[in-house]
Each structure stands twice: as structure tokens, then as C-alpha cells.
Amino acid sequence: MSVRPNTRPAGHKPPFWRDRAKRALIFQLLLVAAVAAFLLYIVGNVQDNLSARGITTGFGFLSNTAGFGIVQSLIDYSSQSTYGRTFLVGLLNTLLVGGLGVLAATIIGFIVGIARLSPNWLLARLANAYIETFRNIPLLLQIFFWYYAVLRTLPSARDSLAFGEVIFLNVRGLYLPEPLFESGFGLIPATFILAIIASIALVIWNKRRHEATGKRLPAYWISFALIFGLPLLVLVATGVPITWDIPELRGFNFRGGITIIPEFLALWLALSIYTASFIAEIVRSGIQAISHGQTEAAQALSLPRNLVLRLVVIPQALRVIIPPLTSQYLNLIKNSSLATAIGYPDLVSVFAGTTLNQTGQAIEVIAMTMAVYLTISLLVSMFMNWFNARVALVER
Amino acid sequence: MIHNQTIIKERPAPSSAVGPVAWLRTNLFNGPVNTLFTLIGLYILYLLVVPTVQWAFINADWVGSTRDDCSREGACWVFINARFTQFIYGLYPRSEIWRANIVFAGFFTLIAWLAIPRLPFKRWVAVFALVGFPVIAYVLLHGGYFDLPRVSTHRWGGLMLTLLLATVGMVGALPIGIVLALGRRSNMPIVKSFCVVFIEFWRGVPLITVLFMASVMLPLFLPSEMSVDRLVRALIGLTLFQSAYMAEVIRGGLQAIPKGQEEAAAALGMTYWKRMGLIVLPQALKMMIPGIVNTFISLFKDTTLVMIIGLFDLLGIVQAALSDSRWLGFSLEGYVFAAFMFWVFCFSMSRYSQYLERKLHTGHKR
């Protein structure tokens, strides 16, 4: 075998396409140029199309009068309000159903996920059936089911289903009594906040004392009693300054109380039940991911069973559970946009739906809608990164 | 030495340790709390199963052609029967349904061939499924060639459209996803940031806004003389949306391959594309299959959203049939049917992905 002599004279540089750094630079410049050309092409087309249709761009339309009513709004809204106000109403409605959905889905999901691991065969099977049923049926179908097949077939207001003569359910929605706070009620939230502060102080003090002396009080039970007992005591002491506005049938409909529209109920039920089936799986796999040696080691230290769970298994399982859990929360909030299919006035429905149709400002409206969801996603993933960095296992 | 001592004969284990009674004791009635749970569970089961069976089977009407044939208080499956063709093929002309049937048959044969591990020629079948079959399917479904009458896409619908949207979305998303995933792991800062922005954008917005964007904004982006079919617009939206999720699955698979593999390939003098195409991706793709199946399941469920922009997929056509004045009041039957169809598809796919996960659970776990 002959060894090829190095024929390259000293000082001679290889051609630029053999130099990795230069090649990367050229490739990236080409990419930037291609993307810029594509964007310019699109912008040009958009300008042509918009001028052909006589649509002016810009966000000026937000201060125009909307002229349509919204069936549920958390802030003052009438058909005389502006499109900007419409946007806010939709955003708040999205956050409302998202927040309540997250709460319900977490509760159902944790119960089902833990039941799935129960030593009780029947309970585990039932939990499994729940998961496999609701996970494999499209969410939109479930929303339609609750809305059209269940809530829309309820009796009319006259024959409402009554629960203890204070809660009524009919085709128009769910009617709940509304608490009216009288003067002097302000004391109760104040006590509540004070009790929370006192409990936090108690827990910290108890922990320090435990570490210093080995003695501990049942701090969690004491704070539980403080937080819930104290406000209750004040409530009774001040003579229960609450009256209830109970819904009443007048004519064809109920008056008074809080009305929950069926669109909200259907969306909330479907979102919670659907997402809960995913959360249950996450909880199950999170708990199973903790190796059995951890439990055994804790038992060998003769920790009681509840402490094994609380101090050993759950803190480690949470590290596995929380990242996918937050992405499920995100999914739930994004999925709440399906509201538009049944007419719940969320952001997509009132803004990307009605407002877009009335104004024709497709680009601005869709961009604003997407920006809202993107912001929520980014905030959640920032939290996720922070959380991951905080709880990450420090290995090696 | 044992001489005269008789060895005690083996006896069966006591019934408290084996057999149905023992099973009941350990699994259902072990302690008061568990017994309580079992009783509650049995009660829930009773509440759910008895009325369902009565409604769906015992008191149901099965045969007939109009709503007058539904006289009993249970489910009226006559409705499903009468509309079945529509639910499967949408508004596809009755005389041309054989074309759709050929496509269905080919589709399921190919899927089965690729899914069953024992069958040979996987590579050639996969190439045919990705290259040849889509062309054949398009010619058959759309027509306009070889004397086949044209069937415009607004007549496509039902289960056929659902499968079409999901499959095309998936097959289109795979190459884009691979490119995005490789780009996200690239050392080139501009390429990497483009990919990150692209992926995070699509993952951060709900599919419904993507579909709105595809149906409302896409016509604005294109020259005014170019008009895009509504189905194609939905497909573009679905594909872009799906490609971002696919990219994350592929990135997960790439991360699972030890860096030594790529370094060894580089030491052999392989170029970037050879390293990726011959060493890293083949190993990574194998591990990604369960994840890909899972994203396919969610895409399959998400295709129902196209009904909001006016396409009649399985759910869309069921929903449309429910507002038919001759068949009012059968929404429960319609939804149960649609749910059952979706459930069968999704459940079998998720079982398949679990099977694969168990099968592939060898190798890289060290």
C-alpha cells in the first residue's frame, strides 16, 4: 500500500465548500433569504387581495361598536360595546371555563388514577374502563353528546328538575341560589386570610422545632382547623350575614340566583371528563415510576404508611407527574376553543367567529386570537422550565 | 434413612389460599374499606349497565326504514341503518361507491400488511403505500381520468373523509417533522431558532384557530387567481399543525440514541446526511413508532374539528343527519354510533402501540 503524499502546499486553503463553518454560514444565509422571499410574496399577495376587497388593515376596528349581544359575560357588556370589549369578554369566558375545567379534571383525574392502582380488582377495572372509554372518543363528539343529547333534552322551565327546591335544572340551564353578602361579612374573608398566615407561620415554626428538638405538633391538622374553623366561628358569631337569592319561576323562566348556561355546562363537563382520563393515566404512570425499593426502604425505617406516601412516594411521583400534567392543562385550555361548535361565547367563538364575520379583519382577528393562546402556552412552558430546574434530580 | 415412615401425601392448598373464594377475598373483600369500595363499585356498575343494555339491545328497534318502525322505548338503530351509507361515504354518488370501496380495501390491506410483523416485503409495501397508493386512491376517488366520472371533493365525507384527512395529514407531517426535528438539534443557530419558533408556534395554538386560518387567511396569502379547494386547505392546516407535534416525537426518539453512534459514524468519514439517514434515523424511527401511533390517534380524533369549517367528516355527517326533519330526536343513537366507530379505531390503535412498546422494549434500555 502506498501512502499518498500530502500534496497540499503549505498555506493553501481548502475550497470554501469544504469548510464546515463557511458552509453552515452560506446555508443559513440561503435559508434566511428563502424565508424572507416567501414572506414578501405572501405580504404582497395579502396587500393585493385586501385592496381588491376594499378591507383596510389595522386595529382601528377594535373601537367600533360590536352591535351583537353575548349570552354570558363576566364584565359589563351590551350590544353597544366595542369589539375590544368583545375580545375581553371572550378571553374571560375562555379563562373561566379553562380554570374550572382544570380544577375538575385534576380532581377526577387523581381519583381515577389512584383507583386504577387500587388493590381492589373491581375498582381498578372500573377506573380502567373510564380511562379507555373517554380517552378514545373525540372531544368534540363528547361536547355534542352532553349538549345535544343530554342538556338539550331536559324538560322546559315549568317542569324543571328541582334539587331541594333551591337548585333547578332545565333546558335553559342550571339555576343556583346566589349568596348576597350583608354588611359585616367583610370580617370573614379577613379572618380567613389571617388564619392562612397564622398556619404558614405555625408550619414553619413546627418544622424548625422538629429539626431542633425532634418534637412536633400535628401542624397540618391544626392549620386545617384554623383555616376552616375560625371563619366558620366568626360567621356564626356575627349572626350569619348572608341571605340567599333563590331562583324562582316567574312566567316562562326563572328569575334571580345564578344562571349557568347549558353551553357552559356541556363544555365544562366534556373538557373535564376527557382531560381527566389523560390525567388519570399520568398519575398512574407517575406513581408506578417510583421504584418499589423506595417504598421498601421507607418501610424499613418503620415509617407509617401515610408518611411513606407523603414523604417518599408522592414528592418523587410529582416530579414525574407535573410536566405532562401541565401540558394536559394547556391542552384543556386550547381545547376549550371547541366552544365555538356549540355557541359558548369563548374567545374563538365571539372574536374569531362573530367579530371576524362582521368586520372581515381576518388577519388581525386570527393573529390576536393566536397571540392569546401563544402567550398562555409560553407562560406555562416558562413555569415548566422553572419547575423542572427546581426539582430536577442532581445526579453525578 | 426413612424406611417405614409413610410420606404425607400432597394435599391441595386450602380454599382460603387458592380458588375463586380466595380470589374474591384478596381482590374484592380484603378488609372493611375494600368491601365498601366493592359494594359501591357494584352499585355503579348496576346503575350503568342495566339501563344501557336495556336501551341499546333489549328495548331497541333494529329493522325498518322509517321512524315509524321505531315503536319501542329503546334505541332506534333503524336511523343508523337508513343512513349507514352516508355515514361511511358522505354524499359520494351511490353509483360510484365501488371506487371508494376499492380504496378502502387497498387501504386496510396495506395497513394490515405493515402492522403485522410476520408478513414479508415490508420495505416495498411501505414504498408502494407512500408513493403508488396515494396516486391510485386519488385517481379512483376524484375521477376525471380513464372515463371515471369526476366526483368533486365537497361530496366526499363520512368515515372515508375522516380516514383520508388523518392519513394524509400524517403522511405529510412525517417528512416535515423529521426536517424540523433535525433542525432543532442542529448546531446552526439560525436554522435552530427557525425550527424552534415554527414548532412552538403550531404547538401553542389550538387546532381550530389553525383551521380558521387555513380557511380564512390562506386565500389571502395566495394570488387572487389561485383558488384552493376547501379540503386541500383543511389538509394544509392539519399537516402543518401535525408536523410540529411529529417533530417533538422524532426529537424524543433522536435523543434516545446514544451520541456515540453519531460520533462513530463521523469517525468513519460519513457526511451529515449519511450519518442521519443510515445510522441515527433508522435506529430512532424504530423507537418512535409508539409515539407516532399516539400522535396519529390524537390526529384521528382531531379531524372531527373540520366540521367547524364546513367539511362533513364522520361526526359532521352524523350531526347533519340529526337535523334532518324526518329523523329528529335520535341524537343519542347518532352520537353513540359515531362514538363507537371512533372508539374502535382509537382503541385498537392504542392497543397496537402498547404491543409495539412491549416488543421494542429491548435494546437501548441499558
What does the block give as the cell for A229?
A: 374553623
Report the DSSP beta bridge partners of residue B365: none
Residue B34 Cα, gap to closest chain A Cα (Å):
6
Residue with more model confidence, A34 or B220: A34
Indicate if the alpha-carbon torsion angle B282, B286, B292, B297 is positive or negative: positive
Q: What burial letters (b/e) apply to A214-232, b meaning 16+ CB within 10 Å?
A: eeeeebeebbeebbeebbe
Q: What percent of chain B has pLDDT over 90?
A: 8
Neighbours of A200 (CB within 10 A): 11
Ranges of beta strands (E only) in A142-220 are: 161-163, 167-170, 173-176, 178-181
Contacts of A384 (CB under 8 A, 6+ apart): A323, A326, A327
pLDDT of residue A108: 94
> Which chain A residue's Cα is nearest to B33?
A120
Q: Are B217 and A362 in contact (CB under 8 A)?
A: yes
Q: Which range, A219-228, A251-260, A263-272, B349-358, has the best average confidence (pLDDT)? A: A263-272
What does the block give as the cell for B270?
A: 460519513
What does the block give as the cell for A78?
A: 351590551
Residue B19 Cα, gap to closest chain A Cα (Å):
15
* CA-based max dimension of chain B: 106
Answer yes or no: do A138 and B301 touch at CB < 8 A.
yes
Is residue B64 a part of any domain in this protein?
no
Label residue A392 by pLDDT band (50, 70, 90).
low
C-alpha span between A248 and A176 (Å, rounded): 10
Please give the span between the terminal C-alpha atoms of chain B, in angstroms, as a whole number: 51
Q: Quick check: B65 pLDDT over 80?
A: no
Label residue A335 by pLDDT band (50, 70, 90).
very high
- A157-162: which pairs have CB atoms within 8 A and are 24 or more residues apart? A157/A249, A157/A252, A157/A253, A157/A254, A158/A249, A158/A252, A160/A249, A160/A254
Contacts of A201 (CB under 8 A, 6+ apart): none
- Domain carrying residue B283: 78-92+151-359
> Which chain A residue's Cα is nearest to B44?
A126
Answer yes or no: do B28 and A374 touch at CB < 8 A.
no
pLDDT of residue B363: 52
Answer yes or no: do B224 and A135 touch at CB < 8 A.
no
For residue B34, list chain A residues with Cβ-Cβ distance below 8 A.
119-120
* CA-based max dimension of chain A: 106
Answer yes or no: do A141 and B346 touch at CB < 8 A.
no
Q: Are A16 and A29 in contact (CB under 8 A)?
A: no
For residue A128, list chain B residues with Cβ-Cβ distance below 8 A.
none
- Residue of B24, B87, B209 for testing the chain A interface, max A β-carbons within 10 Å: B209
Shortest CA distance to A272 belongs to which of A86, A139, A132? A139
In chain B, residues 344-363 whose CB comes closer than 8 Å to chain A: 346-347, 350
Determine which helix (DSSP H) or strand (DSSP E) holds A260, and give its type and residue range.
Answer: strand A258-260
Number of separate helices (H) and strands (E) present in chain A: 13, 8
Q: What percent of chain A has pLDDT over 90?
A: 21
For residue A341, list chain B residues with Cβ-Cβ distance below 8 A.
307-308
> Which chain B residue's Cα is nearest to A115?
B37
Answer yes or no: do B297 and A136 touch at CB < 8 A.
yes
> Which chain A residue's Cα is nearest to B299?
A138
Is residue B141 a part of any domain in this protein?
no
pLDDT of residue B2: 55
Label residue A164 by pLDDT band (50, 70, 90).
confident
B218-to-A42, A83, B229, B311, B331 alpha-carbon distances in Å: 10, 24, 11, 17, 34
Answer yes or no: do A49 and B219 touch at CB < 8 A.
yes
A191-to-A179, A196, A222 alpha-carbon distances in Å: 19, 9, 15
Answer yes or no: do A362 and B331 touch at CB < 8 A.
no
Chain A interface includes B34 (CB < 8 A): yes
Is residue B186 a part of any domain in this protein?
yes
pLDDT of residue A7: 57
> Which chain B residue's Cα is nearest to A334?
B206
In degrees rounded to 5, what are phi and psi of residue B59?
Answer: -100, 20
In degrees rounded to 5, what are phi and psi of residue B258?
Answer: -60, 145
> In the 8-state DSSP scheme, what is residue A354?
I
Q: Quick check: A246 pLDDT over 90?
A: no
pLDDT of residue A128: 92
Q: Are A265 and A151 in contact (CB under 8 A)?
A: yes
Residue A12 Cα, gap to closest chain B Cα (Å):
22
> Which chain B residue's Cα is nearest to A378?
B204
Is residue B140 a part of any domain in this protein?
no
Indicate if the alpha-carbon torsion angle B72, B74, B79, B85 is positive or negative: negative
Is residue B157 a part of any domain in this protein?
yes
pLDDT of residue A279: 94
Q: Which pLDDT tens digit goes with each residue over B115-143?
A: 887 888 888 888 888 888 888 888 787 87
Residue located via cell numbers 353551553 = A263
Average pLDDT, chain B: 84
Neighbours of B90 (CB within 10 A): 25
Q: Which pLDDT tens digit goes with each residue over A54-88?
A: 777 777 777 787 777 787 777 878 878 888 888 88
C-alpha span between A55 and B318 (Å, rounded): 37
Answer yes or no: do A148 and B331 touch at CB < 8 A.
yes
The predicted model gives B152-171 an average pLDDT of: 87
pLDDT of residue A8: 57
Answer yes or no: do B42 and A122 touch at CB < 8 A.
yes
As to burial, measured by CB atoms within 10 angstroms (0-12 exposed, 13-18 middle, 19+ buried), residue B246 is buried
Q: Quick check: A1 pLDDT over 50?
A: no
Q: Are A135 and B301 in contact (CB under 8 A)?
A: no
Q: Is B76 helix (H, G, I), strand (E, B) or coil?
A: strand
Q: Which value does ipTM take for this structure? A: 0.86
Q: Quick check: A142 pLDDT over 80?
A: yes
pLDDT of residue B366: 37
Is residue B327 a part of any domain in this protein?
yes
Please give the span between the terminal C-alpha atoms of chain A, in angstroms, as a whole number: 48
Residue A245 Cα, gap to closest chain B Cα (Å):
35
Label residue B214 by pLDDT band (50, 70, 90).
confident
B304 closest CB neighbour out of A28, A140, A153: A140
The predicted model gives B101-117 an average pLDDT of: 85
Q: What region does B140 belong to: left with phi over 0, alpha with psi -120 to 50, or beta?
A: alpha
User: What are the structural domain ranges in chain A?
Assistant: 83-157+260-391
> Which chain B residue's Cα is nearest to A138?
B301
pLDDT of residue A394: 58
Q: Which range, A167-181, A304-318, B68-82, B185-199, has the best average confidence (pLDDT)? A: B185-199
Among the residue ranges A12-21, A63-72, B33-42, the one predicted with the least confidence is: A12-21
C-alpha span between A315 and A287 (Å, rounded): 10
pLDDT of residue B243: 93
Residue with more model confidence, A380 or B59: A380
Answer yes or no: do A149 and B187 touch at CB < 8 A.
no
C-alpha span between A26 and A253 (Å, rounded): 71
Answer yes or no: do B304 and A334 touch at CB < 8 A.
no
Q: Which pLDDT tens digit goes with each residue over A180-214?
A: 777 777 777 888 888 888 888 888 888 888 888 87
Shortest CA distance to B177 belongs to which of B292, B272, B280, B346? B292
If one counts the domains in chain B, the total is 1
A217-to-A305, A378, B334 alpha-carbon distances in Å: 19, 42, 59
Q: Quick check: B260 pLDDT over 60?
A: yes
> Which chain A residue's Cα is nearest to B29?
A120
Label residue B362 by pLDDT band (50, 70, 90).
low
CATH of domain A83-157+260-391: 1.10.3720.10
Chain A interface includes B45 (CB < 8 A): yes
- Domain containing residue B177: CATH number: 1.10.3720.10
Residue located via cell numbers 343530554 = A150
Q: Are A112 and A284 in contact (CB under 8 A)?
A: no
Shortest CA distance to B337 belongs to which of B32, B73, B88, B70? B88
* pTM score: 0.85
Q: Which pLDDT tens digit goes with each residue over A286-319?
A: 888 888 888 889 989 998 877 888 888 888 888 8
For residue A120, list chain B residues with Cβ-Cβ distance below 8 A.
27-28, 30, 34, 37-38, 41
C-alpha span between A141 and B342 (Å, rounded): 10
Label residue A264 by pLDDT band (50, 70, 90).
very high
A126 closest CB neighbour out of B41, B190, B212: B41
C-alpha span between B85 and A51 (Å, rounded): 45
Answer yes or no: do A121 and B208 touch at CB < 8 A.
no
